[in-house]
Structure 1
Amino acid sequence: MTLRSTWGAASLLAMLAAGAVAQQATHPETGEPLAGNQTFTYRVLDEFPTIDPGLNEDVEGSHVARQMFEGLLNQDPQGNVIPGVATEWSASEDGLTWTFKLRPEARWSNGDPVTANDFVYAWRRAADPNTASQYSWYIELMKVENAGAVVAGEMPPDQLGVRAVDDQTLEVTLSQAIPYFPQMVTHTTTFPVPQKVIEEFGDQWTQPGNMVSNGAYVLSERVPQERLVMTRNENYWDNANTIVETVTALVINDESQGLTRWQAGELDQTDVPIGQFPRLSEEFPEAIHAVPNLCSYYYAVNVRPDSDPALLDVRVREALSLAIDRDVIVNAILAAGQIPAYTLAHSATAGYEPPEVPAASMTQAERNARAQELLAEAGYGEGGEPLTFEIMYNTDQAHQQLAVAIGQMWKQTLGVETTLANQEWQTFLDTRRDGNFQIARAAWCADYNEASSFLDLMTTDNSANDPRYENPEYDALMEESRTAADPLPLYQQAEAILARDVPILPIYFYTEDFLLDPSIKGYPFENAQENWYAKELYRVAEE
């Protein structure tokens, strides 16, 4: 059933009036003439598993949540933290207590004030095991006092170290000082949610007509597997400075179809199909972009005790990793500025420098020769037991082409056969999380611009640790890094352990390559996390 919210005559007139003004107006800061059509339409690969900020676990869901909800802090076009609902923030001398002063003019879309209690409720809800949030671990990662016990169900949520001093003052108590804590509260898991609405509608609170949000936009329409539409929130505290009226996400599972629809003018933004960046750069030089993006692409190897015995042999895993020709992947297949990866944390992460691991300094011929030796030592390959592995990935042309290419590399170098299994996004996430795979496509995008956002992924208790890798030495290094004056050496040691134990096969560091209609301005090309806010976008008039 298609659910739509109904716009009254007054709202429709207001929108028409705003459009008329935009047609004649100029941008208040740049002076550029604004187009009458202030809409932004972009492509997403899959249907959003959820648009509840407390339950969301994927990048596209975060983009939607960022338009409809506003947390304590936002990011500027360079990725620096700036005020959101909070206008001031400070830490105690020991770094264990953070105080946020909230703006009194902040409102929910139903007109209710946004208060500190809304954040308290949201954080407790995300940590509560009864909520079953796949990102409850993030509250624990933030080192909020008692978070571990609350997430484990050993303490009630009201014991979480967050409280409302008054309506405009939020106090957070940490168990350990984290200098990058302000960056962490730009993440969607920390966004406020409306308690009375959730209690009234339950899991239907995110439906059009039910959903109440505090960001620059509100949900006006959602057609599963087709589109999600957001329109301006008239009660948003900074609505007067918002220009784009409507934001639409179209679900298009095929990159080539996305390109066709972009060329037809149906989309303002779409991803560049795999391998087509060079051609499209010549054809659309003013519209194509390739920018650093703090995401790492890798294959997760199932190392649970009941996994395939061959995959539990580190020599087999290392052989598989070495036999992947990353230069061919980034230069001949992807061809959009991606960087070969032999470690987990993205090389462009602030203040981070990946360690030199042995594989990175080898030639591919040397890697292949060593891979063959390792497989033979393990009793497999030529003259040994034959191997066949399944590569699981979520439905996408690029993921499929990479899986085919990597399967061919393994067969040519190691004699390993592969089968491919593609699944719809939500099914894929569930299957990978449940451990029903041998080798699975994976990617991780930084929740905040610091190396721990990547490296914490492989700690034993992290629920997003899909390989189910366990190493007490690794865990201890990551725990020590929390309070280290300079955590970089500890991060590099942790990366060296991952390179030695090979629970994942790093493949490449992302760039974000996409086509953007040149009339759309304000996109944050310098934000390495690619966190964009539609309220900062605008469309200029044609000359």
Structure 2
Amino acid sequence: MGPRYASLMTTSPRIPWWMACAMAGAGGLMLAVWLAPRQDLPVIPRPAADRDVLRIAYAQMVVVDPHRWYFPTPAQNQLILGLWEPLIECDPESGQPMPAAAESWHWSEDRLTLTVKLRATGRWSNGDPVTAGDFVRSWRRLVGHDMAGAIVLYPVQGAEAVNRGTAAPDTLGVEAVDALTLRIRLAAVRSTFVAELADPMLVPLHVTTPAVLAEDRSWREPAALVTNGAFRLIRASKDGFRLGVSRHYRNHPAVRLAGVEFIRADTASMARLLVAVGRADLTHLSPGVPPEGWPTGRAVTEATELSLLISSLDLNVTRGPLRDVRVRRALALAVDRSEPITGEDAGRFVPAYSWVPDMPGRAGMALFREDAAEARRLLAEAGYPGGRDFPVLILPVNPRRDNYPFLQAWTDRWFRELGVRTYLAYEPSDKRTSRVRSGNFDVAFNGVIATVPDAGDLLGIFAHPERFNAPHWMNPVNTQLMAEANRKAGAERLELLEAFERHVMAEVPTIPMLFERRRTLLAGEVEGWYADPLGRQALKRLALAPLVPPTLGGEEGL
């Protein structure tokens, strides 16, 4: 099941005086660029040392600990997946799992035990062989600490108990059979589990790494952070990270970059400016950042991809009129998803008419529509013509979120078309969470993000009513369909998942409202970029085109 949103913060040590001076100079240059006339600015020539180095500007926090989970930004994913290699990668075209650190895998007959064979060629950046024990060590660390991301291992036998402190880490259902064989025992059949092994949090850890991460030694001793990915850590500071190619990486000759630099920017606008003036080659646009208005003539393109994130209006099916499926359908039909998507939001949000968006290997379905006349008919049939005698719906709102215009537009539509009134209850986050968990609400605005490019992941939330925000909603038909889908593969499995989604959406325990697009700015010389719905583009697949000397006066630069 996709996780809910969370966040963490980190700190970093002081930096040497000479680096501070260098950064001050760079900051002065950027300030001059910012204050200069916003057109025809020169492009900063690429330094010789960065000839084949991809430079990524980022504004949100990035850390080198793969287990310090927070909202999984593309820059965070790419840093971890550049330094480490998990067992599995997901094919960008089909979403299907492909071998990475693993060479092969097979299921037991009951599909509760997965045996993974590692590549004999896997090597750490110090030359040590990568072993099954390195994965066991990493996963025990993840579930044995108070880490929010441990939920990704909950399908593994004993993981939840270990994470909650009621069992010892060595009871986790994972073992190293030998140096190259990893055995994983699941608590229940789960067809998406192999693809879930591509998660950045499930990378292995070298025997020395837990201590290095605990002591924050990578800031002052980058080489002490031993990793098994295509790149190794060369430099780390509060201003970013520098990676070089690992000569011990199992597929080292295929890596086309000489390195990667992650450049910390104070704001998303500054990150965008770094790309415009040639200091960076790539940045992921944050919400609200306009797509155009370049102050230079640098060739830059914008790539977009539909992320696997769904925002929804969850309905409490245990309260009042919402117990009637006709009422729930009326609310879903009456709402106008497109109305509040204006201005800068138009490039970010997409109306959602199903629970699962388009994804590799599976197109989304249109299971909802907007039909106010049918909504009024259903509401009248349920005994509330024109909204007469319909109680006020309570919708708790987190005042720290910027979703008020959407909620106001949608609930106003309910009033205009159905005569249904809604009370937007502004409450602190903890109080709102408590209200939703206790069931003292009618409608709740929530978001779910997938952890794998598989429809079963997003749909799996309905198989766990204890974790779904519309309390106590469940249906035995859904339980049976998901159980069958978990034991199938290929087209037969997709058919079962489609039937599952159709059945759930017909019951309307939640109303899908918005999908979200991810936007990336790329310099013209970046080659090999591809769409990934989880923002996990593998840097080892990218390259930089041969450089063209920059020109001034608004003509095309790099």
Instruction: Please confirm whether the aligned pair reaches a TM-score higher than 0.5, indicating the same fold.
Output: yes
Give distance in 2, aligned partners of 1:420 and 1:222. Answer: 43
Aligned length: 495
Q: CA deviation at 1:119?
A: 0.4
Which one has the largest radius of gyration? Answer: 2
CA–CA distance in structure 2, aligned partners of residues 262 and 432 of structure 1: 44
Residue 361 of structure 2 corresponds to which residue in structure 1?
350
- Equivalents in 2 of 1:337, 1:392: separation in Å? 21
Q: Report the alpha carbon displacement of residue 100 of structure 1 after superposing the two structures with TM.
A: 1.4
Distance 1:272 1:152 in 2: 34
Q: Using structure 1 for the length normalisation, give the TM-score.
A: 0.72
Task: Give yes or no for the alignment of 1:139 onto 2:153.
Answer: yes
Offset of residue 71 of structure 1: 0.7
Alignment equivalent of 2:505, drawn from 499, 502, 507: 499
Structure 2 residue 53 is the aligned partner of structure 1 residue 41: no
C-alpha distance in structure 2 between counterparts of 1:123 and 1:495, whole Å: 32
Residue pair 2:57, 2:263 contacting (<8 A) in 1 also:
yes
Partner of 2:336: 325
Cα deviation for residue 74 of structure 1 reads 2.7
Structure-2-length-normalised TM-score: 0.70
Pair 1:532 & 2:546 matched: no
The superposition leaves residues 417-473 of structure 1 with CA deviations (integer Å, 9 ceiling, x where unpaired) of 56586999xx9998899779966654434322321111112332775x455554152
Match of 1:56 in 2: 69
TM alignment of 1:6-25, pairs within 5 A:
none
Q: Which moved more, 1:183-192 or 1:339-348?
A: 339-348
Q: Percent identity?
A: 20
Residue 132 of structure 2: which of 116, 141, 156 is its match?
116
Q: SS state of the match for residue 343, structure 1?
A: coil
Secondary structure of the corresponding residue to residue 447 of structure 1: coil
> Residue 543 of structure 2 aligns to which amino acid in structure 1?
Y
Alpha-carbon distance change, 342 to 375 in structure 1, aligned in 2, over 3 angstroms = farther
Residue 522 in 1 paired to residue 528 in 2? yes
Change (3 A) 1:202 1:285: closer
1:111: Cα distance to partner?
A: 5.6
- CA–CA separation in structure 2 for the residues paired with 1:272 and 1:297: 17
Partner Cα distance (1:265, 1:433) in 2: 47
Measure, in 2, the Cα distance between the counterparts of 1:148 and 1:475. Answer: 21
Residue 73 of structure 1, CA deviation: 2.3
Distance 1:446 1:217 in 2: 28
1:483, CA displacement in angstroms? 1.2
**Distance in 1 between the 2:471 and 2:538 partners?**
35
Q: Which amino acid aligns with 1:455?
A: L
> Would the aligned equivalents of 1:435 and 1:466 in 2 still touch at CA under 8 Å?
no
SS for the counterpart of 1:366 is helix
1:100-148 C-alpha deviation (Å, 9 max, x unpaired): 12344411x566543211101222333x4x423434343243xx45556
The 5-angstrom pairing of residues 346-425 of structure 1 reads 346-351=357-362, 354=365, 357=367, 359-360=368-369, 363-366=370-373, 369=376, 373=380, 377=384, 385-387=391-393, 389-392=395-398, 395=401, 399=403, 402-403=406-407, 405-410=409-414, 412-413=416-417, 414=419, 416=421, 419=424
Structure 2 runs not aligned, ≥5 long: 1-10, 20-45, 549-558
8 Å contact 1:276–1:335 — kept in the other structure?
Answer: no
Q: Say whether the 8 Å CA contact 2:78–2:539 is kept in structure 1.
A: no
Q: Please say which of residues 115-124 and 158-167 is displaced more in the overlay.
A: 158-167
AA paired with 1:73? I
Root-mean-square deviation over aligned CA pairs = 4.8
Measured in 1, the distance between the counterparts of 2:109 and 2:16 equals 51
- Aligned partner of 2:485 in structure 1 is 481
Structure 1, residues 65-106: CA drift from partner, whole Å, max 9, x if none? 222321112345535544432334445676544231234441
Alpha carbons of 1:458 and 1:93: their partners in 2 closer, same or farther (altered >3 Å)? closer
1:182-331 map, 5 Å = 182-194=194-206, 196-199=208-211, 202=214, 209=221, 212-215=226-229, 216-218=231-233, 220-223=235-238, 228-232=240-244, 234=246, 237=249, 238=251, 241=255, 243-248=257-262, 250=264, 259=272, 262-265=275-278, 267=280, 268-271=282-285, 287-293=301-307, 295-299=308-312, 301=314, 303=316, 318-328=329-339
Deviation at 1:263, TM superposition (A): 3.8
CA spacing shift, 1:175–1:334, aligned 2, 3 Å = same
The answer as to whether partners of 1:217 and 1:233 remain within 8 angstroms in 2 is yes
Distance (Å, rounded) in 2 between the aligned partners of 1:312 and 1:171: 45
Contact 1:522 1:536 in 2 (8 A): yes
CA distance in 1, matches of 2:351, 2:494: 21
Q: 1:411: Cα distance to partner?
A: 5.1
Gaps of 5+ in 1: 10-21, 25-33
Q: 1:313 to 1:208 in 2, by over 3 A?
A: farther
> Following TM superposition, by how much is the alpha carbon of 1:535 offset from its aligned partner in structure 2, in angstroms?
2.8
Matches of 2:213 and 2:174 in 1, distance apart?
A: 25
